[in-house]
Chain A
């Protein structure tokens, strides 16, 4: 491979990672559940693109497999499964109230991204001199931002998307470090993810049927509604 082509592939991979970071920020801060899901789909496509580019760059056929698995499961099967299992009204729902307001959440997520670079760069260096690239730090950032999504969101679907985004982040870091993991592992992880989505979808449907809402962040106050204190009423 010529030097110029390698450089171009490197910067295209870095671009995919940079946009991946942007979608992670978006998932934390988007109000509407549908937008959150669309950002997740875009993020998965970027992950697949990064895997394919790294495969091309290092001639690792295994990474094409990763790209293919990601291309099939996350942008296609996950939304389809969610549509099948969870109630339809969930997609148009807006989060009226978040734990923190959006500018504060964004500021925290910026700090997390910078922290991820401080953690991720030494991690990549420790893995070996050939692993320097934006994949590991941005993957760690994706992981942390997914965790932040889980923390600040109160609607069921964005929470699920946050969980899946964490997995995406781990994948993004993983594909640059382990270029020839067994294909079986990838398939197992992908199936695992689908099972999680399926179970969560069914769970969300059950929650909605019982409680009439998918704002699971409010379920904590529901538990106390048996009786004694005055502030225990359920607000929807």
Chain B
């Protein structure tokens, strides 16, 4: 029992510690692909350190929501980490509290608060960004649902610890069309939810084209640091769900010793590095879509997910 609590804390520490690193590595890799040197991979840590030591400015017109939101954005990914397999193949202390739908709900809570806070500060760009983010997320929502339906058709469960075993035992299951189509649909979802390139440009600072970032224009100092760190953790958590539950459950610790769990950390990071490489290829070879083309992008994701479900449900 105490051991499981310890492992749980270790998982949280891994996500807290390595989420900025993943963001830094991704930024650096993209710069290298574009024949530039780019900032160091530890730049996100430096940014966070700098922001935590600055003063914070809060508009007098804003309400408690504005001050409360950074904490929500920071805490929701940590809640999710308690539910999903980050390092172990067996459920840990608090994993009984929710399944993958629970993960979706908890992340949606963060999304709700960031939208409301963006409108709260009364910056015009905040409201524009908030409405755009809502547009992207309500189009992404049905894709999420269909993905979860298909997963529960296949595995008979939405609990991530059961789902991850279904795809690889026997190994022929890995190549079933529903699995591969689900992976494609989920990658498109990660791109949309993480604000990556075909949907949103994470490195662009042009207010009129911003989607995700314009919600945070009013934040400064420690508040901005929490928002940024929370965003990086959310992205890290989505990658963990994708890699550890839907694609490759290999490399996770199945033993109950501390050594086995610690050994799983570099393996998981290696998997994430592999996924970041794929992401760099996607981001470097595609252009950002115009706003109303995002409908078509997520429509394609929806079609892919539904195709996965059709193939799975009707062939049985």
Q: Which residues of A contact B (CB under 8 A)?
A: 4, 7-8, 10-12, 14-15, 17-19, 21-22, 25-26, 29, 102-103, 106, 109-110, 113-114, 117, 121, 133-134, 137-138
Contacts and interface: CB of A to CB of B under 8 A. Distances in A.
A134 B315 contact: yes
B299 A103 contact: yes
B270 interface: no
Interface string B158-179: 0000000000001111011110
Interface stretch (B198-206, B211-219, B226-234, B305-313): B305-313
25 contacts: A4-B172, A7-B170, A10-B172, A11-B173, A11-B177, A12-B175, A14-B175, A15-B175, A15-B177, A18-B181, A18-B307, A19-B181, A22-B181, A22-B303, A22-B307, A26-B300, A103-B299, A109-B303, A110-B303, A114-B314, A117-B314, A121-B314, A133-B315, A134-B315, A137-B314
Contacts of B302: 106
Nearest to B173: A11
A106 B300 contact: yes
B interface SS class: helix
B180 A19 contact: yes
B181 A8 contact: no
B275 to A, nearest CB: 20
Contacts of A102: 296, 299
Residue among A8, A22, A26, A113 facing the most chain B CB atoms (10 A cut-off): A22
Interface string B175-192: 111101100100000000
B170 A103 contact: no
Nearest to B315: A134
Given A21-B311, A110-B306, A113-B307, A29 B296 contact: yes
Nearest to A4: B170
B295 interface: yes
Given A18-B177, A134-B315, A11 B172 contact: yes
A10 B315 CA distance: 13
B150 to A, nearest CB: 12
Interface string B269-308: 0000000000000000000000000011001101110111
Interface of B: 170-173, 175-178, 180-181, 184, 295-296, 299-300, 302-304, 306-308, 310-311, 314-315
A46 to B, nearest CB: 11
A175 B304 CA distance: 25
B304 A22 contact: yes
Contact of B310 (A10, A114, A133): A114
B177 to A, nearest CB: 3
Nearest to B184: A22
A223 B249 CA distance: 62
Contacts of B171: 8
B172 A29 contact: no
B83 to A, nearest CB: 30
B172 to A, nearest CB: 4
B296 A103 contact: yes
Given A22-B304, A103-B296, 19 more contacts: A4-B172, A8-B175, A11-B172, A11-B175, A14-B175, A15-B175, A17-B311, A18-B178, A18-B181, A19-B177, A21-B307, A25-B300, A25-B304, A26-B300, A106-B299, A106-B302, A113-B307, A121-B314, A134-B177
Contacts of A19: 177, 180-181
A117 B310 contact: yes
Nearest to B312: A18
User: What are the 10 closest A-B residue pairs judged by CB atoms, nearest first?
Assistant: A18-B177, A117-B314, A7-B172, A8-B172, A11-B172, A11-B175, A15-B177, A15-B175, A14-B177, A11-B176
Nearest to B307: A21
Nearest to B306: A110
Given A11-B173, A19-B180, A22-B181, A103 B295 contact: yes
B306 to A, nearest CB: 6
Contacts of A106: 299-300, 302-303
Nearest to B295: A103
B67 to A, nearest CB: 40
Contacts of A8: 171-172, 175
Contacts of A18: 177-178, 180-181, 307-308, 311
